[in-house]
Each structure stands twice: as C-alpha cells, then as structure tokens.
Amino acid sequence: MADTVRLLSTLALKGAVHRLAGQYEVSAATRIDADFAPTLALLDRLRGGENADVVILTREGLDALSKEGRVVPASCVDLARSFVGIAVREGLPHPDIVSEAGLRATLLGARSVAYSRLGASGIFFAQLIERLGIAAEISAKATITPLGFTAERLVTGEADLAVQQISELKQVAGIEVVGAIPLELQTPAVFSAGRMVASRKADQSDRLLKYLVSPEVAPVLRDAGLEP
C-alpha cells in the first residue's frame, strides 16, 4: 500500500499536479492526495485547522504561513512563475490585448468579464482596472467566480472574456487563451511549496518537494502554462 501525502494547492498548479501524480506514485510509492482552491481560500482553511503535509501557494502566502510558524521555512521551494491572461470561447475572434490601450478597449467592449476575487489573478485584475480607470464600468458587468475556473463562464455563455492565470485558463475545454495581459502591466505570480510543521510525514513530504523542483517536472510545468 503506497504512502499518502496530503497536498493543498492553488488552482494554478492543478493541471500540472494531476499529470504528475500518477507517475510519482509509481516512482516513489507515494500517493498524492490533492485538493485545490485559490490561495486566499487555502490560507483560511489552514489557519482554521485543516491538516496537510505539503502546501503550494503564492510565495507571499507561503511566507505568511512560515512567519506564523505553520510551514517549515527551510523546506520552502519556488516552483514556477505564472502570468495572468485572457481567454475567449473557442472559435471566437481574439480581441486586441497587446497594448494597454487595446486591452482597455477590449475590456470596455465586453458584455461581461469573468474573474475571481479570491485568487492571485483576481486580486491583480481588481488593481489593474483601477489603474486603467475603468473599475466602475467593469465591476458593473463582471461575472465573479468565487471558486474554480473563470473560463467555465465562457462555455456557459455568461461572459465574453475570462481573466485568470494562464495555467488555470488552459484547464478548461472549449475555450482559447488569447494571451497574457501586457507584461509591463503585471508582475508574475511566483508559486512556491513547503512542508507544514504539523505534518507527520516529513520524509515523504520532503521527497515530494524535491521532486517538484526536479528537471523532469519542468516540461510538465511549461506545458501547463507555467514557467519553471
């Protein structure tokens, strides 16, 4: 019977973790029991007493748990960078998001924009529309996704545009990623992993962390829309 490591991860790594879990169980005789949610939701759950062995969060979230004595500082590793992008329903024209002016016009012209308020991408997007001076207009017609993938709102027809980490957008069938929001307008999110202090499986957790930063994992991260 394989050992089991309990993993709580941000949604941005869901596609990559699912692809890696099977081969890791074979090679390490350890099963990854994973659950996924936005970083802020995971922080609330962990602070509320939920148990886990390994967590994958934004670097800021992981650092906060480390300072609170919940994560072992020496175990923390950076896994990948991720950029926020925009998607449309499959088959529809790709709007102009190459420049700040083009992005602004595209957002204003959309019937509705889907984004999440809990994830790193949602926090960034709320700040971005404030910076662009269009927060009131976009908020008035926004489709807010409390949990899960914003691109699902494209498939249901609730929104014309979906905003989220590119790695999260790519996990929804029936949509097309237009591209990243102009890089000069955003700072990439860094997703990092660490072992919980309360974990009773330190050795297994540390082996998993070592695996997640190994060269063999890098191609899977790239294919999932992340930068190792």
**What's the pTM value of the predicted model, to 2 decimals?**
0.85
| Domains of the chain, each with CATH number or no CATH | 3-81+189-223 (3.40.190.10), 84-185 (3.40.190.10)
pLDDT in tens, the chain (228 residues): 468 999 999 999 999 999 999 889 998 989 999 999 988 899 999 999 999 999 999 999 999 999 999 999 999 999 999 999 999 999 999 999 999 999 999 999 999 999 998 778 888 999 999 999 999 999 999 999 988 899 999 999 999 999 999 999 999 999 999 999 999 999 999 999 999 999 999 999 999 999 999 999 999 999 999 999
Cα Rg for the chain, rounded, in angstroms?
18
Instruction: Provide the pairing of β-strand 3-9 with 161-165.
Output: unpaired
Dihedral (Cα; 192, 196, 200, 203), 10-degree rounding: 30
